[in-house]
Each structure stands twice: as C-alpha cells, then as structure tokens.
Amino acid sequence: MKRIFALSAALGALALAGTVEGQEKEKHTASRQASAQEYEGWRQYMVTCARCHGDDAVGGVMAPDVRTAVAKGMDQAAFTEVVLNGRPDKGMPANKATLSDEQAASIYAYVKARAENRLAAGRPEKKS
C-alpha cells in the first residue's frame, strides 16, 4: 500500500513538474502583444467560447482545448464552419445568429496565436 502511495505521489509530482515547465516555457516564448485581429478574437472568444472551452482556449469542464484542433491543422474555413454552425451531436451550439464570419475569423486568429505559442495566456495587449 505504501509503495502504491509513493508511486502515485511520484507520478503526480512529475505531472505537476511538466505542467509548471510548460507554463514557464510559455512565459518565456509567448508574448502578450496581439494584433488587432487577435485582440478582437480574444474579446469574441471570451464572450462566446470561454464558458465551455475555458479561458485562454485551454479547455474546460464541458469542452476540449481548441488549440489542439488548430495545432493539428484545422484551417480557418473549417474552424469558422464549426464556430458558426456548431456541433449539435457533441452539444456545441451554433453561433451564426450572434457572430459574423469576420468575428469567427478573429476567434480563429486568436486561437491560432495561442496554439502556436505566439500569444501568452491572459488578457492580451493590442499592438498599436
């Protein structure tokens, strides 16, 4: 029993170290400076998507980390299609009544910047 506890504690420590290491890497490589489109995407994301997909596009209790889809090659057209029309079979509502194509494209720009580690977590600063 003690061995199982020790093993569980060690694995937990390794997982936590990896998470902290990833956060430290992001702090050092990503910027808070966002283009106008990325900043608008962050604004729209926080209003429309964060409730389910989590702040900073990292996933939430109800929906996955959307950075993964973009990192695996989901292009803007496919992303916009999902944002506007939803995925009813998976519980994702359509947003075409509240978002324009341009706003959905801005959300894609924000998520892509997060997926590529160009934009740090947290509130971005709009480049002037």
Query: Tell me: the pLDDT tens digits for 53-64?
Result: 999 999 999 999
Domain enclosing residue 48, as ranges = 31-126
Nearest alpha-carbon partner for 19 in 11, 48, 49, 32: 11
Instruction: Provide the β-strand partners of residue 31.
Output: 119
Same domain, 107 and 59: yes
Nearest alpha-carbon partner for 92 in 55, 58, 54, 53: 53
Q: What does the mean pLDDT of the chain come to?
A: 85
Q: How many structural domains is the chain composed of?
A: 2
Same domain, 83 and 114: yes
CA atoms within a 13 Å half-sphere pointing along the CA-CB vector of 36: 2
Q: What pLDDT was estimated at residue 30?
A: 86
Same domain, 47 and 7: no
Question: Is residue 11 over pLDDT 50?
Answer: no
Same domain, 35 and 13: no
Q: What pLDDT was estimated at residue 13?
A: 45
Same domain, 109 and 48: yes
Same domain, 89 and 77: yes
